Amino acid sequence: MSIGHILLGLLTERPKHGYELKREHDERLPGAKPLAYGQVYATLQRLQRDGKVAISGTAQESGPERTVYEITGEGTADVHRWLAEIEQPAPFISSPLFARVVLALVAEGSADGYLLRQRSAHLERMRELTARKSSAGASVGELLAADYALHHLDADLRWMETARQRIDELTREIRA
């Protein structure tokens, strides 16, 4: 995840100070790991060194005086270049779920019990996300983050069902 590009993206709206950037990052990307303030500060310094942001002044609300940063022309061009690129789809996904299914077959001869327990845990998590999504006042960011997590958990569940059917089929073939 490119924190520099995320901060630049947030600065395209208007000049902001570091604490504001951290807060907006955490609020708008609710599924993401919250940013540490030190990380924001270090990134802003790097962006400033590279000429992508500049100090536009200071602001004081209730706490200490804070440095306000604005995006430069070069910074704006960099964000749009980044948005024009794509994330590389992972060529091969190694998952702990996959490892457990294989090892359950190796060590216990069946993955059925594990798959059913894992299904229950996945569905429980999906229920929590669905409840959160359905609650009044969920922000767009929260809805998108919940949808993203739900689709990924759903993909795991569908893979688990396919795995169970494949194992069944192979077992039948071997026994036949």
Whether residue 31 contacts residue 143, with contact meaning beta carbons closer than 8 Å, is answered with no
Distance in Å, CB of 116 to another protein, minimum: 5
What would the two tokens of residue 160 be?
Answer: 């688990």
Q: What is the DSSP string of 112-154?
A: HHHHHHHHHHHHHHHHHHHHHHHSTT--HHHHHHHHHHHHHHH
Distance in Å, CB of 147 to another protein, minimum: 8
83 three-class SS: helix
What is the contact mask toward another protein in residues 59 to 98, using x (rule: CB under 8 A)?
----------------------------------------
Rounded CA gap, 31 and 105, in Å?
A: 33
What is the contact mask toward another protein in residues 3 to 32, using x (rule: CB under 8 A)?
------------------------------
Question: Interface with another protein by CB under 8 A: which residues?
Answer: 116, 119-120, 122-124, 126-127, 129-130, 134, 147, 150-151, 153-154, 157-158, 161, 165
